[in-house]
A and B are shown apart, each in its own frame.
Chain A
Amino acid sequence: MNEGNLFFLLRGWLWLRRKARPTDVQWNLAMAACVGVVGAGLGLLFKAATRVLTQMLTDGAGSGLAAFAQLPPWQRVAIPTVGGLLAGLTLMLGQKLIRQKPTEYMEAITLGDGKLPVRSSLYRSLASMLSIASGTAIGREGPLVQLSALAASVLGQVRKLPPARRRLLVACGAAAGVAAAYNAPIAAALFVSEITVGSLAMESLGPLIFASVASIVTVHIFSDASPLYRLEHFALPHWTELGCFCVVGVACGLMAALFLAMLEQFKKWFRKISVPLAVKLALGGLLVGLIALANPEVTGNGYDALKSLLHGETVTGPGEWLWQAVLVILLARMVATSAAFGSGAVGGVFTPTLVVGACTGSLCWQAFAMAFPDLRIDQAGFATVGMGAVLAAATQAPFMSILMIFEMTLSYEIMIPLMLASVIGYYTFRGFRMHSLYHHGTPDAYDIFNRPLETLTVADIMQTEPQTIGPQAGFGEVARQFLSGGLDRQYVIGADRRLLGVVRLEDLAEHLHSRALAGAFIAGDIAHDNPPTLDTRMPLPEALVLFTHEHEHELPVVRAGTGELAGTLTRNDLLLTLAEAGKRTAPHR
Chain B
Amino acid sequence: MAVLVNLDLAAVDAADAIRQLASSLGQMPGVVDGARLVTDMLAREAVLTTYVGDGVALPHARTDAVTKRVVAVARSPKGVPFGPKGELAHLIVVVGCPRQDVSAYLTFSKLLLRRLRLPKVRTELLTVREPAKFLQLLELNDEAPAGSAAS
Interface residues of chain A, those whose CB is within 8 Å of chain B, are 472, 474, 507, 510-511, 513-514, 516-517, 519-522, 524-529
B99 within 8 A of partner (CB): yes
Residue from B58, B103, B106 in contact with A520 in the complex, judged by beta carbons closer than 8 Å: B58
Q: Is the CB of A513 within 8 A of B110?
A: yes
Chain A residues, Cβ within 8 Å of B127: none
Is the pair A522, B48 in contact by a Cβ cutoff of 8 Å?
Answer: yes
Contact status of A474 and B109, CB under 8 A, knowing A507-B102, A520-B58, A529-B99: no
Assembled-state Cα–Cα distance A522/B44 (Å)? 9
Chain B residues near A521 (CB, 8 Å)?
A: 48
Per a CB cutoff under 8 Å, which of B47, B62, B110 touches A510? Answer: B110
- Nearest 9 pairs between A and B by C-beta? A516-B52, A520-B50, A472-B47, A517-B113, A510-B106, A520-B52, A514-B113, A522-B48, A510-B110
Residue pair B106, A526 in contact (C-beta under 8 Å): yes
Q: Is the CB of B53 within 8 A of A516?
A: yes
| B107 interface hit (Cβ, 8 Å) | yes
**Cβ of B148 under 8 Å from chain A:** no
B134 at the interface (CB under 8 A from A): no
Contact A526 B110 (CB under 8 A): no
Q: Which residues of B contact A472 (CB under 8 A)?
A: 47-48
State the CA gap A528–B49 with chains docked (Å).
21
Q: What chain B residues lie within 8 Å of A526 (beta carbons)? A: 102, 106
Min Cβ gap B84→A in Å is: 10
Q: For the complex, give the distance between the alpha carbons of A513 and B111 in Å.
A: 11
A511 vs B47: C-alpha distance in the bound complex, in angstroms?
19
Q: Give min CB distance, B115 to chain A, whole Å.
A: 11
Name B residues whose Cβ lies closer than 8 Å to a Cβ of A.
44, 47-54, 56, 58, 60, 62, 99-100, 102-103, 106-107, 109-110, 113-114, 117
Across-interface contacts of B117 in A (CB, < 8 A) = 514, 516
**For A527, what are the chain B residues with a Cβ–Cβ distance below 8 Å?**
102
Output the residue of A472, A514, A527 with the most chain B CB within 10 A. Answer: A514
Whether the pair B107, A517 counts as a contact (CB closer than 8 A) is no
Q: Which residues of B lie under 8 Å from residue A513 when comparing CB positions?
A: 110
Rounded to whole Å, the gap between the CB of B46 and the closest CB of chain A is 10
Closest to A475 in B: B48
Q: Which residue of A lies closest to B57 (CB)?
A: A520
- Given the known inter-chain contacts A511-B110, A514-B113, please indicate yes or no for A520 contacting B48, CB distance below 8 A: yes
Main secondary structure, interface of B, reads mixed
Contact of B106 among A507, A516, A524 (CB under 8 A): A507
Residues on A with beta carbons closer than 8 Å to the beta carbon of B44: 522, 524-525
Query: Smallest CB-CB separation from A501: which chain B residue?
Result: B102
List the B residue with the shortest CB-CB distance to A474: B48
Q: Look across to chain A and name the residue whose beta carbon is closest to the beta carbon of B51.
A: A520
Known: A514-B114, A517-B113, A520-B52. A529 touches B100 (CB 8 A): yes
Knowing A507-B106, A529-B99, say if A517 contacts B52 (CB, 8 Å): yes
Interchain CB contact under 8 A, A520 and B49: yes
**C-alpha spacing A520/B82, complex, angstroms:** 12
In the complex, what's the smallest C-beta–C-beta distance from A516 to chain B, in angstroms? Answer: 4
B94 shortest CB reach to chain A, Å = 13
Nearest-Cβ distance from residue A194 to partner chain B, whole angstroms: 47
Quick one: closest A residue to B64, CB to CB?
A529
Chain A residues with Cβ below 8 Å from B52 are 516-517, 519-520
Residues of B within 8 A of A514 (CB): 110, 113-114, 117
CB distance from A220 to the nearest CB of B (A): 50
Q: A522-B44, A529-B99 are in contact. List 10 more A-B contacts (CB 8 A).
A: A472-B48, A510-B107, A511-B106, A516-B56, A517-B52, A517-B109, A519-B52, A520-B49, A529-B100, A529-B102
How close is A10's CB to chain B, nearest CB, in angstroms? 15
Q: How far is the CA of A472 from the CA of B54 in the complex (A)?
A: 24
Q: How far is the CB of A203 from chain B (nearest CB, A)?
A: 31
User: Distance (Å) between the CB of B91 and the closest chain A CB?
Assistant: 12
With both chains docked as a complex, state the minimum distance between the C-beta of B59 and any C-beta of chain A, in angstroms.
Answer: 9
Supply 15 A–B pairs (Cβ within 8 Å), ascending by A: A472-B48, A474-B48, A507-B102, A507-B103, A510-B110, A514-B113, A514-B117, A516-B53, A517-B109, A519-B53, A524-B47, A525-B60, A527-B102, A529-B100, A529-B102
Q: State the Cβ distance, A130 to closest chain B Cβ, in Å.
A: 63
Most A-side CB within 10 Å, residue of B48, B54, B60, B109 = B48
Instruction: Find out whether the CB atom of B58 lies under 8 angstroms from the CB atom of A528.
Output: no
CA–CA, A528 and B103, complex, Å: 9
Instruction: For the complex, give the distance between the alpha carbons of A514 and B51 in Å.
Output: 13
B110 pairs with A516, CB closer than 8 A? no
> Could you say which residues of chain A place their CB within 8 Å of the CB of B106?
507, 510-511, 526
Q: What residues of A have a CB within 8 angstroms of the CB of B49 in the complex?
A: 520
Chain A residues, Cβ within 8 Å of B62: 524-525, 529
A477 to chain B, nearest CB (A): 11
